[in-house]
């Protein structure tokens, strides 16, 4: 498949594209906390001449774990991704790191890829496609998969491929449909798979296969109002704030690690339909924010919790 | 019992006292929705010469019910509370009203009374006592009941009576203690009974007896995190916002009608202890707001929901 | 000019279109406050059989003025717009009303029209075009005018006409350009003219000609940070919250009546570029909200202030 | 002067006192940015065996300056405050630091001291005295100075000394009064002087003498609405959010470095009096937060901006 149509056209916002063009290495790591860790890591970066453009640390006093994210200018170190990964891996090993990652954020072949899954509600799709088109997303969208044809015109509007895969209600049909979805998703080797108001429960084996890459926007303030029709649940319960939650998907429904949340105030004058309408603004903002952080390796997962170096 | 010590001393904030001195009648009503209701009610008020200082209406499209709150200057109508109640009752009857109330908000004998129940956490108590002392609460506090002696010095500081009633763990002891609490509360005939971080579950029969008057502040964003240690639950779940909820108490724990809620943003750097500390500010603000609305008859209960004419 | 391309294609969000199809009459009025006004207005509506779907009132204690907005089902009254206007005008006259309006919100010929003016920043444009395309805006966009060609591809993407009118720096060129803009705008007889990050100061005579219809989004929390580069001003001043303001344009720069505002928290880690990026989300949300309220006659102007019956 | 009455009585909140009892050294520093700074500082801390309990860094890309705050357990390093200051001073020197500080946060003699200045509005005073009394403030209040007698009863309630110093309108009287205020303040050698709704303009020479220690709460969202009656200004301008600002005082009125701000939403229904009343909650919360951060050396001043390591 040619990658041409998935890269946005020359962006009208030249500035943001220009900023994205500066290649960076991002190094993240989690390890047992202790003394001297920051000294060890910053010492390593000083040693290889790394020009740090963004650095963040977190010592979790509850779990006794340490987390860091370091962003350095790619042109400041005289080595390629493989070598940097190997050398940082040695540091990580000496710290008994549980996880460590090195990524190159940049342009061309290195651009990140996002696959979207949608159903009928379009506001999150418009938001992500607009950000893709303007260059603000900083990633390619090789395909949008829908289980309904409703949003195909929106995807075509932006000149992107739309793939319709209907999901039948019966178990066999469903299994076959998700096998097809899986094949379509995986042939693009995406860095993120986004459920942009996709109204089907993703099977557990896919949640597992895509763990840490599968991102959902839930139109409720989790852990309240899991499952279907959260705004109607919120109305019935009489809450005074409604919310949206961007989270990694795990096998348990609406119970994966939360990346970001936001709320707006409602009152007795807001019907469920008003909540649905007003909630769209926060859903799309929270999803876009969470996805952007994920694509920049700003989110480290720690069990049910996330460390977000925003 | 002499009322002297429960009325705050001449307030340092003369302005707010002066405002409170203007007596008002507050009329509230709920009835099946239909055409001409507002015309009927405002026609009645025009007829008796009522000078409306605050008026609010709500037609609930989901339940088909109508709600209103009217505040008029007491000196604008040539009748006393009993007569006004009778005449408004006739209007209510003609509208098949499910509920209607007429109250006089003012000074002296008419001042509202609030009984507080506390345990060991003092921030909500300081807040309410400060508002009482400054005259901002606009109500008397005839007694504060504690199931621990810890906060007695705070209550004494403000010159108010403190009554210690320990609540044993065994069923009989507990029943006896709550009988004593009930007696102490009811002899003051309060307009509100406030659980200001009172860490005991109130027995169902008291919840019923005090329905619509018993107000709790829950240190979590309900319906998430009901029950004990909500901040620790919130930490474990990894939410990005924590909240507080002021609600009427019903027999089901933390499940009564919500009056007000608020949240603050937290991140991975906030330990459970940080959340406890930071949450105090919203707990006390939400409680003070909800209680004030209740005392001014601004809250109408509609099943699990509230109409708040703030 | 054919109106065909300016009406969005059959919307993917059928529900919102359906809701928009129910025609309504909206009646607004402002007059000196006094007793019996609500009774007079609701009496009139009851008399003509109006089925009220939304009603709001405001008595301003500072200015002594009364404001109301009534929304009724168009099919509930047996008269057309002209007759309703005449009969409501008689009520307005009897109340010494300073302003009164009757509009029909509906479909087809009655759809409202919005003209957009843009420069180079596209986020507000994407937002409004997406809402137009999905049917959520509930209005037509007959043309987008740009003083730079940068955003033409975005407008073409959505199948709408783009008109490039460059604005030279010299006084004569500028006057000629704005004469051309005026002609282009006025031939569409729009209900709203939106400066969607249009980076030119609109001449006073146009502000006057379009008073009450010309809406701007300012990327700062007015009245702070008027004029150019508000985020840089905010950074330099060290504020801890940045904001956006949707307001009617008056001849004095960034000083017209405010329709809506919002803010987000920033800290020392946010550079001016971060503020620009993060501010986009609130700019577009605030603009879309303010424009929607305007198009539904929910905003009444009272000097420098607005009454917003949202 | 005996310190006895200024230290709060044994706190009802034992937990917060216990937490406060763990002595800490806090080291802060600002210097020109460059590579290897974090490595240098963390290397130094590792060398002296410092157990870091909280660490924060900021590289300002606009100004090219670096800022850090390190909090370590006092019992983890085998040296006293003087020696630590000398050794950290050597590190600071090698980094060409513009500022560096070492403080010991703890108990007893080391407790920080706050002097309050008040006029007639009591809500901020109640808030700070409540936090002092509960032990949450973690500092002593040796005296409260008022230019009016109104709040003396509140201060006496909490058992603290109140000093009345009237400020006449004429220049000579004013100068004499502020000389007296200065003497009273300075004999307590405070770490913070707080204008808790003190309604007098502090003379420039005092602003200078107390620079970096003199903290004001302004009841407006600066830089909007400087000077008198900010809520009335906000009402007249028709803003949709009102705010409060905690800032260091400089000679120019309401123009010093901002520590924290917050806002609440208002609408056309809020009169200036409503804004005054509703604004109190955010004023006291923002002031308490800003003061606490200041007392824990979490605020670094950078010209007009502040770095807040909260």
Q: Report the CATH number at residue A57.
A: 3.30.70.260
Taking CA–CA distances from D45, the nearest residue in chain A reads A36
CA B103 to chain centre: 15
Separation CA A76–CA C308 (nearest Å): 54
What pLDDT score does B34 carry?
86
Same domain, yes or no: D42 and D91: yes
Say how many CA atoms lie within 13 Å of A260 toward its Cβ. Answer: 19
Residue B53 inside a domain? The answer is yes
Considering the domain architecture, whether residues B176 and B32 belong to the same structural domain is answered as no
Is A212 within 8 Å of A301 (Cβ atoms)? yes
Least CA distance to D53: which residue of chain B?
B269
Is there a contact between A221 and B223 if contact means CB atoms under 8 Å apart?
A: no
At B47-70, the pLDDT tens digits run: 999 988 888 999 888 889 999 999
Give phi and psi for B199, each to the nearest 5.
-95, 35
Residues of chain C whose beta carbon is less than 8 angstroms from a beta carbon of chain D are 58, 60-62, 67, 221-225, 235-241, 243, 257-258, 260-263, 267-269, 271-272, 302, 304-308
* Number of Cβ within a 10 Å radius of residue D18: 11
Q: Are residues A177 and A296 in the same domain?
A: yes
A22, A42, A50, A278: which to substitute to probe chain D, counting the most D Cβ within 10 Å?
A: A42
Cα–chain center distance at D87? 27
- Please list every residue in chain A whose beta carbon sits closer than 8 Å to the beta carbon of residue B237: 222-223, 258, 304-305
Please, which pLDDT band fits residue B254 given cuts at 50, 70 and 90? confident
- The predicted structure's pLDDT at residue A19: 44
Contact B223 A241 (CB under 8 A): no
pLDDT in tens, B167-208: 999 999 999 999 999 999 999 999 999 999 999 999 999 999
Residues B92 and B150 in one domain: no
Domain-located, residue D131: yes
Active site residue B267: no
Which chain A residues are Cβ-neighbours of D49 within 8 angstroms? 35
Q: What is the mean pLDDT of chain B?
A: 91
- Indicate whether C119 belongs to any domain: yes
Neighbors of chain C by Cβ distance (3+ pairs < 8 Å): A, B, D
- Take residue C23 and report the two structure tokens written for it: 């025609």
D133 Cβ contact partners less than 8 Å away, ≥ 6 residues apart: B126, B154, B157, D8, D9, D11, D158
DSSP A203: P
Q: What is the pLDDT of residues D245-291, one digit of tens each?
A: 999 999 888 889 999 999 999 999 999 999 999 999 999 999 999 99
For the CA atoms of A225, B285, B305, B99, the dihedral, rounded to the nearest 10 degrees, stands at: 170
Residues A266 and A270: their CA atoms lie apart, in Å, by: 6
The DSSP output letter for D229 is: -
Q: For residue C232, tell me if it sits in a domain.
A: yes
C-alpha dihedral, D85 to D90 to D96 to D100, nearest 10°: -10
Burial D163-178, CB ≥16 within 10 A → b, else e: bebebeeeeeeeeebb
In angstroms, the separation between the Cα of residue C77 and the nearest Cα of chain B is: 13
Same domain, A222 and A271: yes
DSSP A80-96: -HHHHHHHHHHHHHHTT
Cβ contacts of A306 on chain B, cutoff 8 Å: 238, 268
Size of interface B-D (CB pairs under 8 A): 61
CB C22 within 8 A of CB C107: no
B52–C35 CB contact, under 8 Å: yes
How far apart CA C26 and CA C70 sit, in angstroms, is 6
Q: Do B42 and C46 touch (CB under 8 A)?
A: no
For residues A152 and A223, membership in a common domain is answered with yes
- Residue D83 within a domain: yes
Residue A188 near residue A147, CB atoms below 8 Å: no
The helix, strand and coil proportions of chain D, stated in percent and rounded to the nearest 5, come to 35, 25, 35
**Tally of CB atoms within 10 A around A13:** 18
Question: Which of D256, D201, D263 minimizes the C-alpha distance to D223?
Answer: D256
Residue B267 in tokens: 């991140």
Nearest-CA distance from B40 to chain C in Å?
A: 8
In a shared domain, residues D35 and D120:
no
Q: Is residue A45 part of a domain?
A: yes
Check which CATH number belongs to the domain holding D158 and give it: 3.40.50.170
Provide the domain limits for residue A137: 111-308
Q: What are phi and psi of D158, to 5 degrees?
A: -85, 5
Looking up tokens 């028709």, which residue turns up?
D238
Of C39, C57, C59, the CB nearest to B46: C39
Let me know if residue D168 belongs to a domain.
yes
Q: What is the pLDDT of residue D208?
A: 96
Closest in D241, D260, D303 to C240, CB measured: D260
User: What pLDDT does D20 receive?
Assistant: 43
Nearest to A113, CA basis, from A294, A308, A301, A306:
A294
The 3-class SS string of C73-130 reads EHHHCCCCHHHHHHHHHHHHHHCCCCEEEEEEECCHHHCEEEEEEECCCCHHHHHHHH
**Chain D CB contacts of C268 below 8 Å:** 58, 60, 67, 302, 305-308
Distance from CA of C209 to the nearest CA of A (A): 32
Phi, psi of B33 (to 5 degrees): -70, 160
From D264, which residue of chain B is nearest by alpha-carbon distance?
Answer: B262
Name the residue facing C46 among B35, B45, B59 (closest C-beta).
Answer: B35
CB contacts, 8 Å: D51 with chain A: 35
Question: End of a domain among C105, C134, C158?
Answer: C105
**B39/chain C closest Cα distance in angstroms:** 5
Q: Write out chain C's pLDDT in tens, 310 residues.
A: 334 456 666 544 434 444 445 789 999 999 999 888 988 999 999 899 998 888 899 988 888 999 999 999 999 999 999 999 999 999 999 999 999 999 998 766 678 999 999 999 999 999 999 999 999 999 999 999 999 999 999 999 999 999 999 999 999 999 999 999 999 999 999 999 999 999 999 999 999 999 999 999 999 999 999 889 999 999 999 999 999 999 999 988 888 999 999 999 999 999 999 999 999 999 999 999 999 999 999 999 999 999 999 9
Neighbour-count burial for B123-141, b at 16+ CB within 10 Å, e otherwise: bbbbbbbbbbbbbbbbbbb
Chain C residue nearest residue A134, CA to CA: C122
Q: Count how many domains chain C has.
A: 2
Catalytic residue (choose from D140, D254, D260, D270):
D254
SS3 D144: strand
Average pLDDT, chain D: 91
Q: Quote the CA–CA distance of D276 and C14 in Å, as a whole number.
A: 45
Contact A306 B268 (CB under 8 A): yes
B184 and B298 assigned to the same domain: yes
Q: Identify which of C42, C52, C59 has the shortest CB distance to residue B42.
A: C42
Which residues of C are part of the catalytic machinery?
A: 254
Q: Which of D36, D46, D57 sits opposite A36 (nearest CB)?
A: D46
Look at D304 and C221 and tell me if their CB atoms are within 8 Å.
Answer: no
Residues in chain A within 8 Å Cβ distance of B58 = 268-269
Query: Which positions in chain B touch A236 (Cβ < 8 Å)?
Result: 304-305
Question: Which chain B residues are closer than 8 Å to D9 by Cβ?
Answer: 153
What letter does residue B202 receive in the DSSP assignment? Answer: P
Q: CB-based burial of residue D249 (10 Å sphere; 0-12 exposed, 13-18 middle, 19+ buried)?
A: buried
Q: C77 and C129, same structural domain?
A: no
**Does one domain contain both A115 and A94?**
no
Judge: D122–B12 Cβ closer than 8 Å, yes or no: yes
List of chain C residues whose C-beta atoms are within 8 Å of the C-beta of residue D67 = 268
Chain B residues lying within 8 Å of A262, measured CB to CB: 241
What distance in Å separates residue D59's CA from the closest CA in chain A?
A: 8
Contact C139, C103 (CB under 8 A): no
Distance CA C210, CA D245 (A): 37
Picking from A82, A105, A128, the residue at the C-terminal end of a domain is A105
Q: Answer whether D272 sits within 8 Å of C62, measured CB to CB.
A: yes
* β-strand partners of B299: B308
Please give the residue of chain B at the shortest CA–CA distance from C46. Answer: B36
Contact B34, B66 (CB under 8 A): yes
**In terms of Cα–Cα distance, which of D65, D73, D78 is closest to D19?**
D73
Of A56, A79, A105, which closes a domain? Answer: A105
Does one domain contain both D101 and D117? no
CB D24 within 8 A of CB D46: no
pLDDT at B14: 39
Q: Regarding predicted confidence, which is higher, D5 or B18?
A: D5
Test the D interface: residue of B9, B22, B134 with most D CBs within 10 Å? B134
Q: DSSP assignment of B71-113, as one string?
A: EEEGGGSSS-HHHHHHHHHHHHHHTT-SEEEEEEE-SGGG-EE
Query: Residue D231 pLDDT > 60, yes or no?
Result: yes
Do C127 and A130 count as a contact with CB atoms less than 8 A apart?
A: yes
Q: Which of A19, A43, A64 to mutate to test the interface with D (most CBs of D within 10 A)?
A: A43
Interface of A to B at Cβ within 8 Å reads: 58, 60-62, 67, 221-225, 235-241, 243, 257-258, 260-263, 267-269, 271-272, 302, 304-308
> Is residue B74 assigned to a domain?
yes
CB-based contact C263:C282 (threshold 8 Å)? yes
The two three-digit tokens of residue A285, written as one number:
């903002």
pLDDT of residue A39: 86
Cross-strand bridge partners of residue D59: D66
Tokens of A88: 């940082």
- The pLDDT tens digits along chain A (310 residues) read 334 456 666 544 434 444 445 789 999 999 999 888 988 999 999 899 998 888 899 988 888 999 999 999 999 999 999 999 999 999 999 999 999 999 998 766 678 999 999 999 999 999 999 999 999 999 999 999 999 999 999 999 999 999 999 999 999 999 999 999 999 999 999 999 999 999 999 999 999 999 999 999 999 999 999 889 999 999 999 999 999 999 999 988 888 999 999 999 999 999 999 999 999 999 999 999 999 999 999 999 999 999 999 9
The reply to whether A54 and A70 lie within a common domain is: yes
Compute and round to an integer the Cα radius of gyration of chain B.
21
The answer to whether residue D43 scores a pLDDT higher than 60 is: yes
**A91: chain D residues, CB-CB within 8 Å:** none
**pLDDT tens sequence across A225-236:** 988 999 999 999
- Using alpha carbons, select from B128, B166, B161, B129 the residue that is nearest to residue B149: B166
Is A134 close to C151, i.e. CB distance below 8 A?
A: no
Gap between the Cα atoms of C10 and C4, Å rounded: 12
CB-CB under 8 Å, A39 with D45: yes
When scoring C118, C126, C152, C293 by the number of chain A Cβ atoms within 10 A, the one with the most, hence best to mutate, is C126
């Amino acid at each position: 498949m040619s990658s041409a149509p998935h890269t946005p056209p020359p962006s009208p916002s030249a500035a943001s594209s220009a900023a994205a063009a500066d290649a960076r290495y991002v190094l993240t790591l989690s390890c047992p906390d202790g003394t001297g860790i920051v000294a060890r890591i910053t010492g390593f970066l000083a040693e290889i001449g790394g020009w740090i453009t963004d650095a963040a640390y977190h010592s979790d006093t509850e779990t006794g774990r340490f987390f860091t994210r370091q962003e350095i200018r790619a042109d400041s170190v005289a080595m390629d991704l493989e070598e940097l990964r190997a050398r940082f891996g040695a540091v990580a090993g000496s710290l008994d790191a549980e996880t460590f990652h090195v990524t190159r954020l940049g342009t061309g072949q290195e651009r990140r890829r996002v696959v979207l899954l949608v159903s009928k509600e379009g506001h999150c799709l418009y938001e992500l496609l607009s950000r893709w088109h303007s260059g603000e997303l900083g990633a390619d969208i090789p395909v949008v998969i829908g289980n309904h044809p409703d949003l195909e015109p929106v995807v075509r509007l932006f000149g992107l491929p739309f793939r319709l895969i209907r999901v039948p209600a019966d178990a066999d049909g469903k299994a076959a449909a998700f096998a097809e979805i899986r094949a379509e998703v995986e042939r693009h080797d995406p860095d993120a798979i986004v459920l942009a108001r996709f109204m089907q429960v993703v099977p557990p084996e896919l949640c597992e296969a895509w763990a840490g890459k599968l991102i959902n926007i839930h139109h409720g303030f989790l852990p309240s109002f899991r499952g279907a029709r959260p705004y109607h649940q919120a109305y019935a319960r009489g809450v005074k704030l409604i919310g949206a939650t961007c989270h990694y998907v795990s096998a348990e429904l609406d119970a994966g690690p939360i990346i970001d949340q936001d709320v707006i105030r409602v009152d007795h004058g807001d019907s469920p339909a008003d909540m649905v309408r007003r909630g769209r603004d926060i859903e799309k903002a929270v999803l876009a924010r969470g996805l952007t952080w994920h694509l920049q390796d700003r989110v480290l997962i720690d069990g049910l919790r996330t460390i977000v170096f925003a």
